[in-house]
Chains A and B, each alone.
Chain A
């Protein structure tokens, strides 16, 4: 089927998410909580667009809006710019230290909202980190409390016992709100410090021991001491031996 996005005719499958169709056709829609590995979070509301269907107009969240009928989409008209501006400013009130939100506010000339109290930090509580952690299987962090006191935290506000130090939470975070430090030998996340393991052959960094153990346990093997590249090399050598022997 065909839909029109910002005057451009785009082909899509029925049920496909609007954001994906737009991206595929080179149309930019700003997003925060959208991550290609964890689709459907749909809570930052930055990616709103206007959909006009049979003369009826509505504002939808493009990352979780399945295209079912032929329609005309406006991703950046005045109405959307204004609404997005307000959403961005509200997000900025919640996360004033976030650079990406500040940049987006500037780009969409978001209106000033003076009367609202400002919170602290960079987190917009989109929950992407919690989803990444539980999807991975570690499940070390969660959303705590509710309403205005809701936050992302490990249980009992202590360094989480279930954390394997993989750093996925920090990597998926759209506003870089999760503190994450790494040097040659250690990695610190959620106030828990992990020792980094290096490849026995080439010395490349392979992640934390907990991470390797977790992966090995999931796969039902022994934790590897070689990095991916060296393991491939070793396998190739074994193969070469087999062939040269025959």
Chain B
């Protein structure tokens, strides 16, 4: 992993302003910002670990614990909430056994609640990885999720 991290961070100049971009890259590649990554990045930039740790814990887009392979973002903003996002939270819990903020046992899915995705007209909205699903219902849920499950041979 050390080599992978180094190849990610050495692309950036040794300046603090690139720290966030480097950590986003780590998040993308490893589905979290590993501790080693923060420490190596601090060495690379020449800043303190505490400063990067502060940054990594501030942004919701960065996570210190490993996230699942697929990230489900479920909108619980006003419009989606009214249109039954609550039921979808329960539905996902029944399907995958995870509450918001948790990762499923098989490491495939993480559920995150978001406050608004700016797509209130198609509420309730769910985003899996980069794909938006509109007007999601409890009936549609299993189909959407199953498409992301890895097919065991």
Contacts and interface: CB of A to CB of B under 8 A. Distances in A.
Nearest to B38: A155
Given A155-B38, A156-B35, A162 B50 contact: yes
B58 A145 contact: yes
Interface stretch (A92-100, A113-121, A136-144): A136-144
Nearest to A157: B53
Interface residues of B, number: 12
Interface string A130-165: 000010001111111110000000111000111000
Interface string B47-72: 11111111001100000000000000
Question: What is the predominant secondary structure among interface residues of chain A facing chain B?
Answer: loop
A24 to B, nearest CB: 36
Where chain B touches its partner, the secondary structure class is helix
Interface in B37-53: 38, 47-53
B58 A146 contact: yes
B58 A139 contact: no
Given A155-B38, A156-B35, A141 B58 contact: no
Contacts of B54: 142-144
Contacts of A138: 48
Nearest to A138: B48
Contacts of A156: 35, 53
A162 B49 contact: yes
Nearest to A161: B49
A154 B50 contact: yes
A25 to B, nearest CB: 39
Contacts of B57: 144-146
A139 B53 contact: no
A138 to B, nearest CB: 8
A139 B35 CA distance: 18
A144 B53 contact: yes
Nearest to B58: A146
B152 to A, nearest CB: 36
Contacts of B49: 155, 161-162
B50 A160 contact: yes
17 contacts: A134-B51, A139-B48, A139-B50, A139-B51, A140-B48, A140-B50, A142-B48, A142-B50, A142-B53, A143-B54, A143-B58, A144-B53, A145-B57, A145-B58, A155-B53, A161-B49, A162-B48
Question: Closest 8 interchain pairs by CB?
Answer: A139-B48, A142-B54, A155-B53, A142-B50, A155-B49, A144-B57, A145-B57, A155-B50
